[in-house]
Amino acid sequence: MTDFDLLGIGNALVDVVVQADDAFLAEHNLDKGGMMLVDPERSDFLYTKMGPATESSGGSCGNTMAGFASLGGRGAYIGKVRNDEFGKVFRHDLDAIGVIFATPSAEDGPSTGRCLVMVTPDAQRTMCTTLGAATSLTVADIDADQVQASAAVYMEGYLFDPPEAKAAFVRAAEIAHAADRKVSITLSDSFCVDRHRAAFAHLVDSHIDILFANEDEIVSLYEAGSFDEALQAVRGRCEIACLTRSEKGSVIVAGDEVYEVPAAPVGKVVDTTGAGDLFAAGFLYGYTQGRDPATCGAIGGIAAAEVIAHYGARPAVSLSSLL
Amino acid sequence: MTDFDLLGIGNALVDVVVQADDAFLAEHNLDKGGMMLVDPERSDFLYTKMGPATESSGGSCGNTMAGFASLGGRGAYIGKVRNDEFGKVFRHDLDAIGVIFATPSAEDGPSTGRCLVMVTPDAQRTMCTTLGAATSLTVADIDADQVQASAAVYMEGYLFDPPEAKAAFVRAAEIAHAADRKVSITLSDSFCVDRHRAAFAHLVDSHIDILFANEDEIVSLYEAGSFDEALQAVRGRCEIACLTRSEKGSVIVAGDEVYEVPAAPVGKVVDTTGAGDLFAAGFLYGYTQGRDPATCGAIGGIAAAEVIAHYGARPAVSLSSLL
């Protein structure tokens, strides 16, 4: 028996969510659907140009952990905020849903990281992130006892952007495997894969049990000519690869088996922010409960369907009530 | 020709919006549907007990001004935030919708005021406000030029809670009337009327051209036995009294005339926060455009119907597109 089903490690961010149109993205040279890293000056400039916004806790892995707890899983989180108002908001929102977040806040240095999330009328989100305090996550923030006490560790590929966090990531994976725990990662974003392709490919071969990637990300990782080619490339490199395909559902590659899981029904898609994060939450909840891969994929689909039907990247209802 | 159609003066607050159930309200002795003033310690305590939340700019009058601008009106706002993260959010959201907000931020003292908004499954909101920096609004913050340059001034009754703001309020009314401008107020909340009944009654008689009140508030103001009795009590005391009655629409008392305006259709009512604020926005938009009282009431109803169909107290779509 472990203390936690899942320990997440990620960039702790507050989302600043705004409605925007394609003209706004074009005017400011923003790649639609992607996540761009920007410096604080650029972030402030874009913010002054944006319409009225709503703030809520985000961060890819933070969203996953909120979803995991909403499903009933026992979760913990490692990430770095500043002791400012947004840092307190981030901490509150994990505490409030029952995720243990013990990493101390930074007492000085940059403010809590933020992500400007521009949602276009087609429900796609385009993101500009200033990492802020998240860049101060280091190996020292990895609590070995907590890693050993967790059935699985989950990390976001975005962690490879702040250099110190990458080292923390690898250290956590080593501790986990030494304790016979599982290690999982999401590739996060195809631009992120472009930035760190060789490191990611090496990591998957050496440290990862469960890989999450969408179609663009897995194709980019192996520089494949098609989704099927990418699927063949990842086969055998980790215990399970979860390949998500938006409205086409997901493909779960587990050893010699390939499971095609249809997407869960959803009414109007309002904001796709958090879809991948919540799929991972659902899959890992099923996995840590001992469910088979197809069932895990179905739970992932249900969690993703809930979050894309409203603004914001965390569940608006108790996900356990949807199962 | 004036520079502004409407100048709003209010308590500048950021809303912390959370879903809650009746048991939570009962456990913490919160009066459902009301607004309670709490000290920072009580606010922090309740926050730690609340579920995950979403932050957005609020404040009754701030909401009204956002709605007024969304309808196409030229608005300005006077209120006090601190120069902290929430203060910057509040300022951004008014700037972004085109409301001129020139009041300088407080450089020290309490942080930007916040309102914990607990929304129950029946769509009612129960609010706990810590005024914070809003208590530092004084007569010195009233820009006489701006008041004289505005066709009408609108103030929230909640301004009577911080004592200095009440003086600012009266000063603004005097400047406005000396320049032949209109002065309007909302009674804000029946608990607020209880706190300031005599002062409000005197104010209506001496300074107010257009009064906004819901059924509970107008009944409380005149300690009337019924809505009809309250309606008779207010008649003749100001140019126009707008009495809102939720799903029953509104009753507009203008001189000898009484207009009954049906509520605008709304699908599922999600969160009634901002309903009164947006009614005032719509009514005053019509009024400053020279429309007749019944049309003004209808515009108010349309604006209110939009805001209660989603979480949050400011419009999610351009209100001018709904007219």
Select the residue of B55, B97, B111 nearest A52 (Cβ to Cβ): B97
CB contact under 8 A, B89 and A53: yes
E strand map for chain B: 4-9, 13-19, 35-37, 54-57, 75-78, 100-101, 112-119, 125-132, 150-156, 182-186, 210-214, 240-244, 250-254, 257-261
- Looking at every residue in chain A, the average pLDDT score rounds to 96
Asked if B50 has any chain A CB less than 8 Å from its own CB, the reply is yes
Distance (Å, whole) CA B94 – CA B103: 12
Distance (Å, whole) CA B281 – CA B244: 13
Q: How far is A247 from chain B (nearest CA, A)?
A: 26
High-pLDDT (> 90) share of chain B, %:
97
* Interface probe, candidates A89, A111, A112, A271, chain B, greatest B C-beta count within 10 A: A89
pLDDT-based confidence at A163, cuts 50/70/90?
confident
CB contact under 8 A, B51 and A312: no
Residue B113 DSSP code: E
- State residue A32's pLDDT score: 94
Q: Residue A22, class by beta-carbon neighbours within 10 Å (0-12 exposed, 13-18 middle, 19+ buried)?
A: middle
Residue with tokens 């515009």: B299
Q: Is A105 helix (H, G, I), strand (E, B) or coil?
A: coil
Interface of A with B in 109-168 (CB under 8 A): 111
pLDDT-based confidence at B64, cuts 50/70/90?
very high
* Cα→Cα distances A105→A60, A85, A140, B225, Å: 19, 11, 13, 55
Nearest by Cα to A64 from A80, A82, A81, A77: A77
Residue with tokens 């309200």: B25
Nearest CA in chain B to A18: B316
Which residues, in sequence order, are CB contacts of B184 under 8 Å at separation 6+? B152, B153, B154, B155, B208, B209, B210, B211, B212, B280, B284
Pairing of strands A54-57, A13-19: antiparallel
Nearest CA in chain B to A111: B85
**Is the confidence at residue A1, as pLDDT, over 80?**
no
Q: How far is A52 from chain B (nearest CA, A)?
A: 4
**Is the confidence at residue B7, as pLDDT, over 90?**
yes
Instruction: Give A76's strand partners.
Output: A7, A100
The residue segments making up the domain with residue B168 are: 4-10+61-109+132-322
pLDDT digits (tens, 9 = 90+) for A262-293: 999 999 999 999 999 999 999 999 999 999 99
Cα distance between the two ends of chain B: 24
Asked if A53 has any chain B CB less than 8 Å from its own CB, the reply is yes
Select the residue of A52, A86, A312 nearest B54 (Cβ to Cβ): A312
Which residues, in sequence order, are CB contacts of B4 under 8 Å at separation 6+? B74, B75, B76, B100, B146, B149, B150, B151
- Looking at every residue in chain B, the average pLDDT score rounds to 96
CB contact under 8 A, B111 and A85: yes
Q: Residue B245, class by beta-carbon neighbours within 10 Å (0-12 exposed, 13-18 middle, 19+ buried)?
A: middle
Asked if A263 has any chain B CB less than 8 Å from its own CB, the reply is no
Asked if A50 has any chain B CB less than 8 Å from its own CB, the reply is yes
Instruction: Give A283's strand partners.
Output: none
High-pLDDT (> 70) share of chain B, %:
100
Distance (Å, whole) CA A262 – CA A246: 10
| Phi and psi torsions of B257, nearest 5° | -90, 145
Residue A222 DSSP code: T
- State residue B100's pLDDT score: 98
Residue with tokens 């919160």: B30
Looking at the structure of chain B, the number of domains it has is 1
- State residue B162's pLDDT score: 86
Q: Is A225 helix (H, G, I), strand (E, B) or coil?
A: coil
Distance (Å, whole) CA B203 – CA A163: 62
CATH number at residue B196: 3.40.1190.20
Residue B290 DSSP code: T
Q: How far is B117 from chain A (nearest CA, A)?
A: 14
Q: How far is A200 from chain B (nearest CA, A)?
A: 33
Nearest CA in chain B to A53: B93
Instruction: Give B35's strand partners.
Output: B127
Burial A105-128 (b: 16+ CB within 10 A, else e): bbeeebbbbbbbbbbbeebbbbbb
Distance (Å, whole) CA A29 – CA A33: 12
Secondary structure, 3-state, A61-76: HHHHHHHHHHCCCCEE
DSSP tally for chain B: helices H, then strands E: 12, 14
**Is the confidence at residue B263, as pLDDT, over 90?**
yes
pLDDT digits (tens, 9 = 90+) for A175-234: 999 999 999 999 999 999 999 999 999 999 999 999 999 999 999 999 999 999 999 999
Instruction: Give A130's strand partners.
Output: A114
Nearest by Cα to B141 from B159, B157, B123, B120: B159
Count CB pairs under 8 A between chains A and B: 59
**Is the confidence at residue A152, as pLDDT, over 80?**
yes
High-pLDDT (> 90) share of chain A, %:
97
Query: Computed over its alpha carbons, how large is the radius of gyration of chain A?
Result: 18
CB B249 within 8 A of CB B261: yes
Whether residue B277 lies inside any domain: the answer is yes
* Interface probe, candidates B14, B19, B43, B55, chain A, greatest A C-beta count within 10 A: B55
Instruction: Give A127's strand partners.
Output: A35, A117
Asked if B56 has any chain A CB less than 8 Å from its own CB, the reply is yes
- State residue A216's pLDDT score: 96
**Is the confidence at residue B95, as pLDDT, over 90?**
yes
Range scoring the smallest mean pLDDT among A109-123, A154-168, B117-131 = A154-168
pLDDT digits (tens, 9 = 90+) for B136-163: 999 999 999 999 999 999 999 999 988 8
E strand map for B188-315: 210-214, 240-244, 250-254, 257-261
| Mean pLDDT confidence for B247-266 | 96
Whether residue B258 lies inside any domain: the answer is yes
Q: In the sheet where B112-119 sits, what is the strand order? A: A35-37, A125-132, A112-119, A13-19, A54-57, B54-57, B13-19, B112-119, B125-132, B35-37
- State residue A313's pLDDT score: 96
Select the residue of A48, A51, A92 nearest B47 (Cβ to Cβ): A92
- State residue B132's pLDDT score: 97
Q: How many CB atoms lie within 10 A of CB B246?
A: 15
Distance (Å, whole) CA A287 – CA A212: 13
Interface of B with A in 6-25 (CB under 8 A): 19
Residue B104 DSSP code: P
CB contact under 8 A, B92 and A47: yes
DSSP H helical ranges for A162-321: 163-178, 190-195, 197-207, 215-221, 227-234, 275-288, 293-307
**Is the confidence at residue B166, as pLDDT, over 90?**
no
Nearest CA in chain A to B18: A316
pLDDT digits (tens, 9 = 90+) for A98-144: 999 999 999 999 999 999 999 999 999 999 999 999 999 999 999 99
Distance (Å, whole) CA A175 – CA B140: 61
* Interface probe, candidates B15, B24, B85, chain A, greatest A C-beta count within 10 A: B85
Select the residue of B19, B56, B95 nearest A54 (Cβ to Cβ): B56
Q: How far is B95 from chain A (nearest CA, A)?
A: 8
Whether residue B148 lies inside any domain: the answer is yes
Residue with tokens 């599982």: A182
Pairing of strands B75-78, B4-9: parallel
